[in-house]
Structure 1
Amino acid sequence: MQSAAAAFGLVRPCPARPPLQLGPGSSSCRPILLHARPLAAGIASSSRGPAAVAARSLGRLLLLPPPPPISPDRAGRGRARHVACGAAAGDAKAEEEESGLAKTLQLGALFGLWYLFNIYFNIYNKQVLKVFPYPINITTVQFAVGTVVALFMWITGILRRPKISGAQLFAILPLAVVHTMGNLFTNMSLGKVAVSFTHTIKAMEPFFSVLLSAIFLGELPTVWVILSLLPIVGGVALASLTEASFNWAGFWSAMASNVTFQSRNVLSKKLMVKKEESLDNINLFSIITVMSFFLLAPVAFLTEGIKITPTVLQSAGLNVKQVLTRSLLAALCFHAYQQVSYMILARVSPVTHSVGNCVKRVVVIVTSVLFFRTPVSPINSLGTAIALAGVFLYSQLKRLKPKPKAA
């Protein structure tokens, strides 16, 4: 067999050696594979005779040399790569957790600033309106400060300057009108009644939202949404009956504020203002603020006159520095809490934002009662609590959509 294999050139004969010794020191000859597969395949394909059969049999008997052993260095590198991959996956997971924690902390800080700016706005605003009963002047100052802030942010590049057409400005104009009226009516109410009572009445915003959406947009509410309005209306009525600072001017001003602010929301849906990429919510609010200033300034001049001047304040026996400082701080807080509100809305769902707004109203009411030492009866507190609970229930039920009817 060996001579036949040698004739085909498949194996090389070993020289004469001592008999085969098994063991570690064995020097026995091992057959070496010399292109056995290609040659055998070629012979098998070219002939079907005894030679081909012999070649195929020999191919099955040939032995391959054993694979070289893995060196310790190579094995160590493999283990190192495995450990490195595991460490990288662990680092990625840790970075993801840290990123999620950072976003949560950032969102919590924004909510805290939203509440804080709102609290200080209501406190400073009430202090000024108490001694300076000119709500149109005060509202104009707030829009003027907001205009300066918006222009500063556009000039410095903090906020991208919007690209807006004349047609868009014309479409935004109705929003600016109702925005102006809403803030003016709010300041009128704050000047007449307690801060807590104004915000209790403003808890009725969902009622007017449902009513105006049904009338102008044809959006009919579900039965559950309608039922959630009952505690809101009942709570506000109960709080109004027992409010120590109640007067009709403050009550109807707050109600008018609800109507105008919800009209703004309905108008924004009705007009469907087309936004460019640079016209986000903050830019839209800034444009509305600038337009509101130019709308209200002539009204203030024609009705109340320019009252917020050092001469007028001094002649009224007021502390000029104190009134001007608090008016400026109230205006800055007003614009700041609006900006932060839009920043939060960009990070959370509208339902979460609505719940946060409900909590904000609770915080403002409680803080104002404590700061101004507003007398509150148990029934008044109960009415306020019922109204705010209804607002929370409304915000939860609003997101539920009716199931489509089967065909």
Structure 2
Amino acid sequence: MPVSSPRRAAHRVQRSATHCCNDGQSELTSTLILGSMFAGWYAANIAFNLYNKQVLKVFAFPITITEMQFVVGSAITLLSWATGLLKAPKITGDTVRSVLPLAVVHTLGNLLTNMSLGAVAVSFTHTIKAMEPFFSVVLSAIFLGDQPSPAVLLTLLPIVGGVAIASMTEASFNWFGFLSAMGSNLTFQSRNVLSKKLMLKKGDAGGLDNISLFCCITLASAALLLPFSLFFEGWRLTPGGLAELGVTDPVQVLMWVFASGLCFHAYQQVSYMILQRVSPVTHSIGNCVKRVVVIATSVLFFRNPVSLQNALGTAIALAGVFAYGRVKRQASKKAAKAN
């Protein structure tokens, strides 16, 4: 058996060290990119909520506001496809049939969220939206046959209890805002269940990946909501229309609307980009942390009164969401090991 020369052995050691160094640099770069994406997701979502609430305070027409956010997102999508920044997908009849039900629930979810944001404090809307795991478990059990484990069911108790405690002492509480936020939970989780039901993965529905799917949903939502916006609210989002409503600075409001639309599209698209890099469970935990940041920021920015009981209820609900994410993550690891 031939013996390697000292020079050849040294070369192998050097090559191995270089390979390890490159792997380390690659992992560090990937971590930095993912961290930057999470930071952008949080920042865009915070900005969206702040701009959106300011607009809804002076222009209480949530259908029009939601439509404008879809229109801004659609313009960004078409521009990205035209310039080659994003690859334009091939739209077929199967694509339309698959995307349409998702667009319907996506439209309703965002519309109901805006209705809630217009009626109650931003912090309270996001506290109610912490109930999303509850709706996810119930709908998955009904339509997908997924039976939740006892550990998952236990995590739902603090979520439901925390939201109930927070609701009882919320200064801005009203049933319209509460039920709108609950409706958004139902529709958004219905969207997720529909995605699984239709198996909208890469290679299906015309070969749409996550980003292309989101872009197509945005375009479809803008088209779906436009006639309802015109019929129920008319088109008052013009300098003249705003002036008739008593808005003292129409240009400022229009700038807020555009900024909210930009942030709306940015945070949702970055969310889909993150979902391509991490597991759904990791994404849900990140979403929980994002909700905490949004609630804290909105309370500080709008100076909303928060009682000790309200803060305690919110904390309990969010702790339940975090526990739910951890339980689901452990279940995913066990399933991966079993396979």
**Taking structure 2 as the reference length, what is the TM-score of the superposition?**
0.93
Measured in 1, the distance between the counterparts of 2:189 and 2:280 equals: 15
> 2:33 is matched with which residue?
106
1:360 equivalent to 2:287? Answer: no
- How far 1:278 sits from its partner (Å)? 4.5
Which is helix-richer, 1 or 2?
A: 2
| Greater Rg by CA | 1
> 1:168 is matched with which residue?
95
> 1:120 is matched with which residue?
47
Paired residues for 1:365-384 under 5 Å = 365-384=295-314
Contact 1:189 1:253 in 2 (8 A): yes
Contact 1:160 1:278 in 2 (8 A): no
> 1:154 is matched with which residue?
81
Measured in 2, the distance between the counterparts of 1:272 and 1:290 equals: 21
Instruction: For structure 1, list consecutive stretches of 5 or more residues without a partner in the other structure.
Output: 1-77
> 1:44 is matched with which residue?
none
- How far 1:90 sits from its partner (Å)? 2.0
Question: Cα 1:297–1:276, aligned 2, differ >3 Å: closer, same or farther?
Answer: closer
Contact 2:103 2:217 in 1 (8 A): yes
80-89 or 348-357, which deviates more? 80-89
> 1:325 is matched with which residue?
255
Which residue, 69, 74, 94 being the options, matches 1:142? 69
Paired residues for 1:52-201 under 5 Å = 79-201=6-128
> 2:217 is matched with which residue?
288
Higher RCO (Cα < 8 Å, 6 or more apart): 2
Secondary structure of 1:259's aligned partner = helix
Contact 2:109 2:183 in 1 (8 A): yes
1:259 equivalent to 2:186? Answer: yes
Measured in 2, the distance between the counterparts of 1:146 and 1:82 equals: 57
Measured in 2, the distance between the counterparts of 1:99 and 1:209 equals: 36
Measured in 2, the distance between the counterparts of 1:79 and 1:214 equals: 64
Secondary structure of 2:91's aligned partner = coil
Question: Cα 1:277–1:294, aligned 2, differ >3 Å: closer, same or farther?
Answer: closer
Contact 2:65 2:257 in 1 (8 A): yes
Contact 2:116 2:176 in 1 (8 A): yes
Secondary structure of 2:195's aligned partner = helix
Cα distance per residue 1:202-227 (max 9 Å; x no partner): 00011111111112222111111111
Question: Cα 1:272–1:81, aligned 2, differ >3 Å: closer, same or farther?
Answer: closer
Contact 2:104 2:221 in 1 (8 A): yes
Measured in 2, the distance between the counterparts of 1:336 and 1:141 equals: 14
AA aligned to 2:188 is: F
> 1:300 is matched with which residue?
229
Measured in 1, the distance between the counterparts of 2:206 and 2:106 equals: 23
Measured in 1, the distance between the counterparts of 2:95 and 2:7 equals: 62
AA aligned to 2:268 is: Q
Secondary structure of 2:277's aligned partner = coil
Measured in 2, the distance between the counterparts of 1:352 and 1:167 equals: 31
Measured in 1, the distance between the counterparts of 2:194 and 2:16 equals: 51
> 1:315 is matched with which residue?
244
Measured in 2, the distance between the counterparts of 1:388 and 1:342 equals: 22
1:349 equivalent to 2:279? Answer: yes
Instruction: For structure 2, list consecutive stretches of 5 or more residues without a partner in the other structure.
Output: none
Secondary structure of 1:219's aligned partner = coil
Contact 1:209 1:262 in 2 (8 A): yes
Question: Cα 1:227–1:172, aligned 2, differ >3 Å: closer, same or farther?
Answer: same
- How far 1:246 sits from its partner (Å)? 0.5
Cα distance per residue 1:234-265 (max 9 Å; x no partner): 00000000001111110010001011111111
Secondary structure of 1:86's aligned partner = helix
AA aligned to 1:164 is: I
**Structure 1 residue ranges, 4+ long, deviating more than 4 angstroms after superposition:** 78-82
AA aligned to 1:394 is: Y
373-382 or 210-219, which deviates more? 210-219
Measured in 1, the distance between the counterparts of 2:108 and 2:90 equals: 26
- How far 1:314 sits from its partner (Å)? 1.7
- How far 1:366 sits from its partner (Å)? 0.4
1:235 equivalent to 2:162? Answer: yes
Which residue, 153, 157, 161 being the options, matches 1:226? 153
Cα distance per residue 1:343-374 (max 9 Å; x no partner): 11111111111111100000000010011111
Question: Cα 1:94–1:121, aligned 2, differ >3 Å: closer, same or farther?
Answer: same
- How far 1:270 sits from its partner (Å)? 1.9
Measured in 2, the distance between the counterparts of 1:128 and 1:213 equals: 36
Cα distance per residue 1:72-118 (max 9 Å; x no partner): xxxxxx65554444333222221221111111111111110010000
Aligned residues: 326
Measured in 2, the distance between the counterparts of 1:248 and 1:332 equals: 30
**Taking structure 1 as the reference length, what is the TM-score of the superposition?**
0.77
> 1:397 is matched with which residue?
327
